Amino acid sequence: MNLTQLLYFRELAQSQHYASTAERLGVAQSSLSRSISALEEELGVFLFEKQGRNIRLTKYGEAYYRYVREGLGTLETGEKYVRDMADPRCGEINLGLIYSLGPKIMPDMIRRFTSHPENQRFRIRLSQASTTGLVQMLEEGQCDLILCSPPEQPDPNLELVEILPRKFIVLVSSSHPLSTRDHISLEEISRYPLVVSTEQITSLRRIFNSRGLPLNILSEIQGECAAAGLVDVNYGVAILNTAVNYEDLDVKALAIDELEEYNFPLYLGQVKNRWLSPAVQTFRKFLLEEMDQW
């Protein structure tokens, strides 16, 4: 059996009249009859029987119709859902982003995107995770695009575009002795117990090791905003990046002398050669054109 036979059967079961069904389907009555006969032969039962000038479902046809109607209904719902997902006017966008973008950059990004009337019907689904988790979600198809830090290991399947430069900074509590400073050196930082994000640990170890300095980790935490919160209660000193929102915290940011020119970029990631729906392409274009304004 094939989908055409099932569609013909459903239409004929509803009208129980060959001529009107053939006309509605736009096919010859003989073609409709042959299709139903082939279906009956494959099933080994009669699905219809004559009733005067019309036909009616047999008990086998009644039973089969319930399943065909349900099955085709599910397929049609699925087709509509997929078409809606890919609709260039109101499709679905699945975006993954690192934790530090959540409190400020992500809401502002969505606000600016949806401020354009033509973008207000898109459905945007957001997921937050570490860069490692986001890369896995992207490769498994759970995300269309991700906003992430530099991955720990290069991935040949991943296409990364830098969309936002970020610098490393030191964050201290306003009651900390360092809060009177505006700058600090790596050697000075190495003397303090540090709160660091799992997003940055690989890069920080590489930087400190290259200078022969210890990285004195007090706490390694997933999420730079959470690290900033620990600094706010004077639990250690944190090395974070400039995209982290700490405006409402009682903290002070210090520039790191040796890392003034060091870039810890935010990347827009996607799987190479994977088809992107028109909705996702629209959102990607927006990010590439406007992300540097954050």
Residue 292 has pLDDT above 70, yes or no: no
pLDDT at 225: 82
Confidence of residue 1 (pLDDT cuts 50, 70, 90): confident
Residue 192 has pLDDT above 90, yes or no: yes
Residue 226 near residue 85, CB atoms below 8 Å: no
pLDDT at 294: 61
Residue 99 neighbours by CB under 8 Å, 6+ apart: 128, 129, 130, 199, 222, 223, 224, 225, 226
CA 85 – CA 91 distance, rounded (Å): 4
Q: How far apart are the first and last CA of the chain?
A: 57
Residue 102 has pLDDT above 80, yes or no: no
pTM: 0.70
CA 93 – CA 284 distance, rounded (Å): 10
User: Can you list the domains of the chain with their CATH numbers?
Assistant: 3-86 (1.10.10.10), 92-165+265-293 (3.40.190.10), 168-259 (3.40.190.10)
Residue 185 has pLDDT above 90, yes or no: yes
Mean pLDDT to the nearest integer, 34-44: 93
Confidence of residue 293 (pLDDT cuts 50, 70, 90): low
Cα angle: 128, vertex 133, 138; to 5 degrees: 85
One DSSP character per residue, 86-125 reads H-TTT-EEEEEE-GGGTTTHHHHHHHHHHTSGGGTT-EEE
Q: What is the pLDDT of residues 131-179, one digit of tens each?
A: 999 999 999 999 999 999 988 888 899 999 999 888 999 999 999 999 9
pLDDT at 137: 94
Query: How far from chain centre, in Å, is Cα 283?
Result: 12
pLDDT at 180: 94
Give the count of alpha carbons within 13 A of 51, CB side only: 10
Mean pLDDT to the nearest integer, 176-191: 94
Q: What's the token pair of residue 217?
A: 């980790």
Mean pLDDT to the nearest integer, 188-203: 90
pLDDT at 194: 93
CA 244 – CA 41 distance, rounded (Å): 68
**Considering the chain, what is the average pLDDT of its residues?**
90
Residue linked to tokens 């000193």: 237
pLDDT at 86: 72
Q: What is the pLDDT of residues 226-242, one digit of tens each?
A: 888 899 998 989 998 88
Mean pLDDT to the nearest integer, 189-218: 91
96: how many CB neighbours lie within 10 A of its CB?
A: 24
